[in-house]
């Protein structure tokens, strides 16, 4: 009988997280405080984060010990199994060997408790009585509610109104774990009330919910705020995934040629791939692919070029991924590209050519999710389907090339609370039309004469 999954014994759970900051080939610059012009420092963040998390945010230590109290809680679902997707391989007829790390076995159903647990713990030992946060459809809110309950901390979640109304199950999960979930905008904060005064029927937004959560944390004694993606300490906590995976791949006697993950805020992707990025920095040949939803082609199809930050060419030239000033101006940040909403660490690693971004259309992701469910059984979160779609592409490429590649992807969560998305797909409601290539090329003509920045080597 062939081995299907590799399960590490609890005694083999990694005792440290990996911090990539000291290994970054291109150091990252801290953002500047808008008032002082100085780099943002610990005291600026102390109203919302406990000091141990702030220290981790700026740490240059390569490995950071995981406290026993967190390890004990991680053992509820960790180490997570590494699966060999033999049925998918067979279905595709590929010589590639496909592995996936199942992060969907956590109580909340995704990778998010990896950092929620750590954040709850550090808040607990710092004297925090309650944690405030925002959530969209509730993945993060439910993960944090679960972890707060284990450390006896109150959890207050501002859930975007449109999600609160349309996605009751995750809200009920939060309440089951003892969290308090309110629809945002709410009447509980100044920022919420001012929105409701202008528009009593406001469906809310993540921006409003964040404002409410931070206001709540800052204005209530013993309260702090928690964020589930983007920040360095979040990426750090997630690396337990990749560190486990390295041990499991070694047990399988394999090493990945290709690593794939979906990248929204970047945390599940970072968690799986950063320990392997370290290997790549040290000479290993790995193709590490960040998969994002196909966008009005931005970082995957626009060259990293200098462009004008505004359409009337008033601002200085700034480096950004761009399709030209007459197209969709792209985001920028101090020190390089910051793909809007994505973790700066991931953006920087893309610039450093250690991670390759790939975009994929929605229909293909659902097709891949259905194929995966019908071969491997698991129903994936729609975001996870992005990684599966590119895994299938890579496996078929290996078939064409006749190469026995080893492909590893991060199965970041199940989709059992997301069946409405599958319903849209299965009922044929979704349609897809890629932007014609000629349109992109026409837009790129605009930026041809502009100088290219140092980082651009393409």
Residues in 373-432 at the binding interface with other proteins, rule: CB under 8 A: 382-383, 418, 420-421, 424, 429-432
Residue 180 CB partners (closer than 8 Å, separation 6+): 154, 155, 156, 157, 174
Of 3, 7, 32, 426, the one binding other proteins by CB under 8 A: 32
Of 222-261, binders to other proteins (CB under 8 A) are 227, 230-231
Identity of the residue, 101 or 338, whose beta carbon is nearer to other proteins in the bound complex: 338
Of residues 109, 308, 132, 112, the one with CA closest to residue 220: 132
Of the candidate spans 83-91, 99-107, 211-219, 400-408, the one that interacts with other proteins by CB under 8 A turns out to be 211-219
- Minimal distance, residue 289 CB to other proteins, in Å: 17
Of the candidate spans 64-72, 161-169, 277-285, 402-410, the one that interacts with other proteins by CB under 8 A turns out to be 161-169
- Minimal distance, residue 396 CB to other proteins, in Å: 22
3-state secondary structure the chain: CCCCEECCCHHHCCCEEECCHHHCCCCCCCCECCCCCCECCHHHHCCCCCHHHHHHHCCCCCEEECCHHHHHHHCCCCCCCEEECHHHHHHHCCCCEEEEEEHHHCCCCECCHHHHHHHHHHHHHCCCCEEEEEECCCHHHHHHHHHHHHHCCEEEEEEEHHHHHHCHHHHHHHHHCCCEEEEECCCCCHHHHHHHHHCCCCCCCHHHHHHHHHHHHHHCCCEEECCCCCCHHHHHHHCHHHHHHHHHHHHHCCCCCEEEEECCCCHHHHHHHHHHHHHHHCCCCCEEEEEEECCCCCCCCCCEEEEECCCCCCCCEEEEECCCCCCCCCCCECCECCCCCCCHHHHHHHHCCCCEEEEECHHHHHHHHHHHHHHCCCCECHHHHHHHHHHHHHHHHHHHHCCCCEEEEEECEECCCCHHHHHHHHCCCCCCCCCCHHHHHHHHHCCCCCCCCCCCCC
Of 328, 370, 373, 396, the one binding other proteins by CB under 8 A: 328
- Minimal distance, residue 141 CB to other proteins, in Å: 11
- Minimal distance, residue 280 CB to other proteins, in Å: 25
Identity of the residue, 13 or 373, whose beta carbon is nearer to other proteins in the bound complex: 373
**Residue 337 makes contact with other proteins by CB under 8 A:** no
Identity of the residue, 257 or 383, whose beta carbon is nearer to other proteins in the bound complex: 383
Q: Residue 331: is it exposed, middle or buried by C-beta count within 10 angstroms (0-12/13-18/19+)?
A: middle
Identity of the residue, 278 or 386, whose beta carbon is nearer to other proteins in the bound complex: 386
**Residue 21 makes contact with other proteins by CB under 8 A:** no
Identity of the residue, 176 or 313, whose beta carbon is nearer to other proteins in the bound complex: 313
Identity of the residue, 377 or 436, whose beta carbon is nearer to other proteins in the bound complex: 436
**Residue 107 makes contact with other proteins by CB under 8 A:** no
- Minimal distance, residue 419 CB to other proteins, in Å: 10
Contact 209, 116 (CB under 8 A): no
Identity of the residue, 136 or 242, whose beta carbon is nearer to other proteins in the bound complex: 136
Contact 209, 140 (CB under 8 A): no
- Minimal distance, residue 285 CB to other proteins, in Å: 31
Letters for 37-76 (x = contact with other proteins by CB under 8 A, - = none) are ---x---xx-xx--------x-------------------
Of the candidate spans 30-38, 282-290, 368-376, 396-404, the one that interacts with other proteins by CB under 8 A turns out to be 30-38
Of the candidate spans 14-22, 162-170, 403-411, 450-458, the one that interacts with other proteins by CB under 8 A turns out to be 162-170
Of the candidate spans 59-67, 86-94, 331-339, 447-455, the one that interacts with other proteins by CB under 8 A turns out to be 331-339
Identity of the residue, 102 or 232, whose beta carbon is nearer to other proteins in the bound complex: 232
Of 51, 60, 72, 166, the one binding other proteins by CB under 8 A: 166
Of 31, 81, 303, 453, the one binding other proteins by CB under 8 A: 31
Identity of the residue, 433 or 448, whose beta carbon is nearer to other proteins in the bound complex: 433
Of 264-323, binders to other proteins (CB under 8 A) are 264, 293-296, 298, 309-311, 318
């Amino acid at each position: 009988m062939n081995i299907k999954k590799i399960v590490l014994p609890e005694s083999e759970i990694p005792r440290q997280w990996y911090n990539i900051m000291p290994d970054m080939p291109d150091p990252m610059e801290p953002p500047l405080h808008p008032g002082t012009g100085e780099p943002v420092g610990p005291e600026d963040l102390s109203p919302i984060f406990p000091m141990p998390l702030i220290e981790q945010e700026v740490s240059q230590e390569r490995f950071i010990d995981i406290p026993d109290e967190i390890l004990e809680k991680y053992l509820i679902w960790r180490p997570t199994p590494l699966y060999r997707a033999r049925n998918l391989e067979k279905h595709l007829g590929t010589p590639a060997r496909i592995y996936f790390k199942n992060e969907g076995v956590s109580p909340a159903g995704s990778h998010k408790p990896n950092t929620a647990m750590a954040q709850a713990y550090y808040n607990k030992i710092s004297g925090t009585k309650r944690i405030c946060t925002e959530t969209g459809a509730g993945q993060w809110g439910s993960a944090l509610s679960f972890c707060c309950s284990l450390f006896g901390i109150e959890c207050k979640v501002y859930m975007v109104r449109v999600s609160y109304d349309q996605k009751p199950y995750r809200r009920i999960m939060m309440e089951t774990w003892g969290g308090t979930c309110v629809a945002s905008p709410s009447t509980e904060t100044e920022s919420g009330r001012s929105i409701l005064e202008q528009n009593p029927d406001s469906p809310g937004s993540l921006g409003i919910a964040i404002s409410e959560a931070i206001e709540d944390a800052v204005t209530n004694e013993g309260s702090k705020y928690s964020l589930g993606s983007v920040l360095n300490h979040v990426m750090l906590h997630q690396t337990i995934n990749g560190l486990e995976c390295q041990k499991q791949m070694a047990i399988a006697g394999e090493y990945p040629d290709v690593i794939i993950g979906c990248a929204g805020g970047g945390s599940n992707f970072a968690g799986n791939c950063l320990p392997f990025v370290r290997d790549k920095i040290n000479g290993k040949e790995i193709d590490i692919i960040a998969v994002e939803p196909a966008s009005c082609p931005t970082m995957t199809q626009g060259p990293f070029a200098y462009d004008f930050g505004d359409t009337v060419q008033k601002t200085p030239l700034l480096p950004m991924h761009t399709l030209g000033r007459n197209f969709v101006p792209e985001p920028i940040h101090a020190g390089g590209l910051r793909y809007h909403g994505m973790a700066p660490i991931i953006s920087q690693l893309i610039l450093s050519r250690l991670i390759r971004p790939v975009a994929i259309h929605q229909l293909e992701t659902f097709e891949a999710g259905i194929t995966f469910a019908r071969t491997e059984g698991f129903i994936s979160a729609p975001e996870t389907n992005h990684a599966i779609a590119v895994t299938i592409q890579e496996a078929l490429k290996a078939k064409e090339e006749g190469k026995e590649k080893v492909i590893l992807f991060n199965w970041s969560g199940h989709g059992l609370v997301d069946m409405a998305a599958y319903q849209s797909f299965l009922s044929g409601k979704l349609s897809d039309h890629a932007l014609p290539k000629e349109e992109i090329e026409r837009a790129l003509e605009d930026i041809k004469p502009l100088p290219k920045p140092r980082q651009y080597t393409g």
